[in-house]
Each structure stands twice: as structure tokens, then as C-alpha cells.
Amino acid sequence: MDVTFLGGPRAQRGVGVVAPFDFALDRELWRWVPDQVSLHLTRTPFVPVEVSLDLARRVSEHETLGEAVRTLIAVTPEAVAYACASGSFVGGTAGERAMCETMTRAGAVPSVTTSGALLEALAELRVRRVALVTPYTESVTRALESYVAEAGVRVAGRAFMGLTRHIWKVPYREVVTMARQAVRPGNADALFISCTNLPTYDVIPQLEAELRIPVISANQVTMWAALRRLGTRAVGPYQALLDTSARDWPVLPEEQQEGWT
């Protein structure tokens, strides 16, 4: 069969992604990416430490970040994203900015971190009061609270799971339970679900419909902000950050609600 008339594959644009060594949700990241964009992932070196402030500091060291970005240069990404929430908020807003500068110098391309993307998303949605859901221990959760507060956003509620490993195995029903604990009627302008290793893609639309506020997650904001650097948009139905029409909080069809409770 002659397939030469097809003209070859479509030209692709690339986003480089630096993820922690234990990141397990590559497929979830891809769900926000339009067809004409490819993700090129690399991981930081293994560190034999449980999820903690110590681990967050180790996986975000500037030398580690620079080396990771340099491994991506051969595939010429147009932007680079550091996909780790705790690793990018552990040093505060100044630390996050310094990480971006390190990544940009190493790759000569625009860069973004998960926590920097969070602040961009909160500004986009004009959020002044945010509720937080995390899988972390209390100490890591408090570091996130401090980061958000430093940026001028008040933490209106929180719920955390206290996990130190296997975060990618948390089912949607536990995320929903935490969200309901963190958000009370009228107490928050938005909900942020932290940790790039926590599955969130399918649960965001239903939580928005139930809570009647924007729900954003670590992986969602990372992809949204990275794709912005390319001048293109993340894809995701019924997600308020990605589609202003979704802010009317429609009730989803029953078939789209299955499996999240």
C-alpha cells in the first residue's frame, strides 16, 4: 500500500518536563496536551527519602534541575516545566523564581514550575481565598500555605492526607472526601489540589459542579502554564481554568460522573 500521499507525520512542538524520580502520572499530563504538542519527560535522580520537606529540597536543587534540563535540549523543546509542587514551593516565592532562572539558563527556553503556575492560575481566576487539598504531611502542607500566603492569597480551608509514599495510588473518592472537608459554603474562591503525583484529571469537572468554584490541580496548572508559553491552550472539558464557559458550573451527564465517588 502506497502511503506517500500522507506526507509524513504532522510537525510537532515540544514541551520538556522535568519530574521527580517517583512521578507516576505521565499519562495524566498528556491528557491536557493538544495533538500538535509532544511532551518530552526526564526525571531527577533517585533519592532514598520519603515524601517530606527534605525530599522536596533535594529534588529541586539547582544543579539537579540544570542537568535535567540539559538532557532535554537535544529534542529542542520550546518551553520547559518542572512538574513538582512541593519541590517548587519549598523555597518560597523567591526560591521558585530562582528555579525558573536556573532552568531557563540551562535550556535557553521559557520555563515554569508547578508552584509558579499555581500563582499564575490564581491570578487568572482572580482568587483571593483558596482552599487546599494535599496528600502531604502537615509540615509539607504548611509550607504550601506559607507559599500561597506570601503571594497575597489567603488560605480559607485545608485538608491533608499525611502520606509519605505511593501518592499516585490515591483513588478519586479520597480526593473528593478531602475537597469536601476543605471547602465550606462561601469560604473560598477556588480549590487547589496539590501534588503532581496525585490523580485529578477526571475529578475536576465534578468537583467544580458540586462546589460551584474553580478547582485547579498541580498537573493541570503545570500543563496550562507550559502550553501558554507556546501560545497554545491546554485541553480539558468542563474545567473552569481552561474554558470560561465551564464557569457556569453545568451539571455533568451521569455517564461522566461514574467512577469518581
* Tens digit of each residue's pLDDT (9 = 90 or more) over 188-221: 999 999 999 999 999 999 999 999 999 999 999 9
| 3 state DSSP class of 168 | helix
φ/ψ of 179, rounded to 5, equals -60, -45
The answer to whether 259 and 172 are in contact (CB under 8 A) is yes
Please give the chain's pLDDT, 261 residues, in tens.
666 666 667 778 999 999 999 999 999 999 999 999 999 999 999 988 898 999 899 999 999 999 999 999 999 999 999 999 999 999 999 999 999 999 999 999 999 999 999 999 999 999 999 999 999 999 999 999 999 999 999 999 999 999 999 999 999 999 999 999 999 989 999 999 999 999 999 999 999 999 999 999 999 999 999 999 999 999 999 999 998 776 665 555 544 444 444
Strand partners, 112: 81
| Cell output for 180 | 469536601
CA–CA dist 170, 216 (Å, integer): 17
